[in-house]
Amino acid sequence: MTPPQPRQRIPVTVLGATGVVGQRFVRRLANHPWFRVDHLAASERSAGQRYGEACAWRLGGEPHGGLADLEVRACDPSAAPAPIVFSALDSGPAKEIEPAYARAGSLVFSNASAFRMAVDVPLLVPEVNADHLDLVDVQREARDWSGAIVTNPNCTSTVLVMALAPLHRAFGVEKVFVATMQATSGAGYPGVPSLDILSNVVPHISGEEEKVETETQKMLGTLQMGRIVPAAATVSAMCHRVPVIDGHTEAVSVQLRGNPAPEEVAEALRTWSSVPQEMQLPSAPTRPILLHGEPSRPQPRLDVEYGEGAAQGMAVHVGRVRRCPMLGVKFTLLGHNTERGAAGASVLNAELAHARGRISL
Ligand code: NAP
């Protein structure tokens, strides 16, 4: 099924465009077939400057996504209206700014945690719960907004739920234990001071374990009568910051209904395909899960950037699927925290919304 192509690229605004995730948005959108960046916005510190001055570009590819001369604005929907807004704001400012854009009619695709657990806000990963996008109707009715907020989960939850979803569908997930090794880029820029992270592991990331435990249940839940009934799965997370630039690694043990053999679990992961693949959305990886056979994979340095064009960094890597003496089966997974876990996730959500006719132009 090929999705409808817009006649002209749809103008979008990027909020928080100067940050770690904002830069990923700008680079990703520079060559996007459906969307083009019209406005860039950030804090009052950056407003009024050219993007090239306000933003210390830290990515490869064309510097500033070719937008170095575009003026950065303050986050004000009356100054820069757009049908689609991508938000890479911190949670604090997002609480006020994202509703202002939704009230003004924009569909806001947010990375911030501010509204993720709100009962009328979709926490969306198109491979996992594409039907949760319908919560937008409930939200508009409840809040009397012409626009809406659609969130993507925390980067750690995103890559975890990508591996759990096919197992939940095939067998039913009962319990999950996950220990994470999270990249430093997950803390924004400049993030953890180098003297705290080099040759070191920091066994605490504020609020992260709670996010992984609750967001996963919401995403694996079902939409019934206009509300999400969370999955009954128990999730326990232990989160660690490690000296890796990009790519969250997670050691996962799962208890599945019927206690399937590791070979059956591996097959369910390997053969999984879902809505973005069927709809051929531009940022969808050909396979959402790449199953590795070598015992030393996946590794952030070797695997995290896998993929071509818009699908680069969008697949989740799984390896070492084997018997767990405690919960039944265990494996190692890896996902790109600022692409699959942030900018790429929001762009894929917007592609799904467009393909489902939910963007008003
Ligand atoms: P970051 O590098 O610190 O960037 C923050 C951005 O927000 C900057 O553009 C900054 O603009 C802007 N900003 C700060 N205060 C503002 C205000 N009062 N009003 C308007 N704009 C303001 O952070 P990040 O890592 O990109 O994270 C952005 C969001 O994505 C956060 O909510 C984070 O939790 C989430 N997220 C991050 C990751 C990741 O792996 N990094 C993954 C998933 C989700 P100035 O430059 O003008 O200060």
pLDDT at 22: 97
Return the SS3 of 7. coil
pLDDT at 1: 67
Cβ-in-10-Å burial (0-12, 13-18, 19+) of 118 comes to middle
pLDDT at 259: 98
Pocket of ligand 1 (CB under 6 A): 16-22, 42-43, 45-46, 75, 88-91, 93, 111-113, 154-155, 185-186, 188-189, 337-338, 341-342
Ligand 1 atom closest to the CA of 45, numbered from 1: 47
Q: What is the pLDDT of residues 243-283, one digit of tens each?
A: 999 999 999 999 999 999 999 999 999 999 999 999 999 99
Mutate to test the pocket of ligand 1, among 21, 110, 334, 348 (most ligand atoms within 8 A of CB): 21
Query: DSSP for 247-272?
Result: -EEEEEEEEETT---HHHHHHHHHT-
Q: How far apart are CA 220 and CA 168, in angstroms?
A: 8
Q: What spacing in Å lies between the alpha carbon of 172 and ligand 1's midpoint?
A: 36
CB count, 10 Å around CB of 81?
17
Q: What spacing in Å lies between the alpha carbon of 90 and ligand 1's midpoint?
A: 4
Q: Where are the beta strands (DSSP E) in 70-156?
A: 72-74, 84-87, 107-110, 148-151
Q: What is the pLDDT of residues 206-247, one digit of tens each?
A: 999 999 999 999 999 999 999 999 999 999 999 999 999 999
Catalytic positions, written as ranges = 155, 248
Q: What spacing in Å lies between the alpha carbon of 13 and ligand 1's midpoint?
A: 15
Q: What spacing in Å lies between the alpha carbon of 111 and ligand 1's midpoint?
A: 9
CA dist list (Å): 88 to 20, 22, 287, 288: 8, 5, 26, 24
Q: What is the pLDDT of residues 47-58, one digit of tens each?
A: 999 999 999 999
Locus of tokens 């400049």: 190
Q: What is the mean pLDDT of residues 335-360?
A: 96
